[in-house]
Amino acid sequence: MPENAEESFKCCRCGTMFGREGRYSARCPVCGHECTPDHCRVVVASNEEY
Ligand SMILES: [Zn+2]
């Protein structure tokens, strides 16, 4: 596994992306939607390279 892959949820309601931080589900800070991998996309971003 890549060390610094960051997982983020992309909220299916408002489109906000926010850190998943290893949790199964997380509440969207903007609209309050409960994001789970079933409903919202999980985006893996590795922003190591420039
Ligand atoms: Zn949202």
Q: What string of pLDDT tens digits covers the 50 residues of the chain? A: 556 778 999 999 999 999 999 999 999 999 999 999 999 999 997 766 66
Task: State residue 45's pLDDT score.
Answer: 77
Q: What is the DSSP letter of 5?
A: P
Task: State residue 27's pLDDT score.
Answer: 97
Task: State residue 2's pLDDT score.
Answer: 54
Structure tokens given for 27: 């509440």
For 40, phi then psi, to 5°, come to: -110, 150
Residues whose beta carbons lie less than 5 angstroms from ion ligand 1 = 11, 13-14, 16, 28, 30-31, 33
48 C-alpha to ligand 1 centroid (Å): 26
Task: State residue 42's pLDDT score.
Answer: 95
4 C-alpha to ligand 1 centroid (Å): 25
Task: State residue 24's pLDDT score.
Answer: 94
Do residues 22 and 40 make contact, with C-beta atoms less than 8 angstroms apart?
Answer: no
Task: State residue 47's pLDDT score.
Answer: 65
**Rounded CA separation 1/21 (Å):** 16
